[in-house]
Amino acid sequence: MNIIETKELSFSYKRENDEKVVLDGLNIDIKEGSFTAIIGHNGSGKSTFAKHINAILLPCGGSITVCGIDTSDEKKLYELRKSAGMVFQNPDNQIVATIVEEDVAFGLENLAIDREEMHRRVEAALKAVNMYEHRKRAPHLLSGGQKQRVAIAGILAMQPRCIVLDEPTAMLDPQGRREVMDTILSLNRENNITIVLITHYMDEAAKADRVIVLDKGKVRFDAPPREVFREEEKLRDLGLSVPDSTALVHALRKKGINIEKETLTPKECAEEILSVTVDIRTRLKR
């Protein structure tokens, strides 16, 4: 079942003398329970697409439906945003309370959720992102990764079917990035929440079930990570890279070392290199 469907989705920003086309007739279907990463260089349209999922932006042409709701239907905006939550790049822009658990409860209070139910949801959401022990702390005392997990918990408490994350790790250090990515993977695999991740980190995209590459508002690639990152030269032409482990294997192949498997992680890369160690030593001595 598709949770997100676009049909010839188009969007333009009007400028003084003309307009800039950002999305150009996109046809993208995303299945419920999947984990989709969307990548592209700056200006490719990936963040603009993400904002259409939550009806922050509305189509200039075509349509997009989320959970069966046409995003242009103003009467169903409340229902739409309950079904598809949005997490932004800077967690400070989403944290509004002075205590963690109060911040997670903020959206529920606006919905007039029963107090007992609210406490249950807040507790469950904080435990899901491994932040329950920090529930009484002030958000400004948390690390960047912890703040982002609190922001995710605030969305999770609304019980969405889909969470859209627009470069949620861009402002975080490596530890914070790992914490957030572990949370995202857990929510997808254990809670069956549909994840749409906008990222410029290729190692994060490699963790998804599917990678969509946007360029000038059009889909250039749409396939599982191994298939997409196999096209290293084409991706570099689009201003993109591949995961470091993938790039290393490609470089070794150019040296004549026969590594058949496409690797996405350091562990996979190490295993493949180990399997051809003798061949590598022989060829590098030449």
Encode pLDDT of 128-169 as tens digits.
Answer: 999 999 999 999 999 999 999 999 999 999 889 999 999 999
pLDDT given for residue 78 in this prediction: 86
pLDDT given for residue 275 in this prediction: 79
Domains, the chain, ordered by start: 2-225 (3.40.50.300), 243-286 (no CATH)
Give yes or no for residue 278 having a pLDDT over 80. Answer: no
The angle, 0 to 180 degrees and rounded to 10, between the axes of the packed helices 174-191 and 115-128 is: 120
Q: Where are the alpha helices (DSSP H) in the chain?
A: 46-53, 77-83, 100-110, 115-128, 144-156, 174-191, 202-205, 225-229, 232-237, 244-254, 266-275, 277-284
pLDDT given for residue 181 in this prediction: 92
Higher pLDDT, 110 or 92: 92
Rounded to the nearest 10 degrees, how much is the dihedral formed by the CA atoms of 205, 207, 209, 212?
0
Distance CA 8, CA 110 (A): 35
Q: CB neighbours (10 Å) of residue 250?
A: 17
Give yes or no for residue 280 having a pLDDT over 60. Answer: no
**pLDDT band (50, 70, 90) for residue 171:** confident
Mean pLDDT of 227-255: 91
Higher pLDDT, 244 or 112: 244
Task: Look up the pTM and report it.
Answer: 0.90
Encode pLDDT of 28-63 as tens digits.
Answer: 999 999 999 999 998 899 999 999 999 999 999 999
Mode of pairing for the β-strands spanning 218-223 and 84-87: unpaired
pLDDT given for residue 121 in this prediction: 93
Compute φ and ψ for 94, nearest 5 degrees.
-110, -15
The two tokens of residue 139 are 């958000």
Distance CA 273, CA 258 (A): 10
Share the mean pLDDT of the chain. Answer: 90
pLDDT given for residue 35 in this prediction: 97
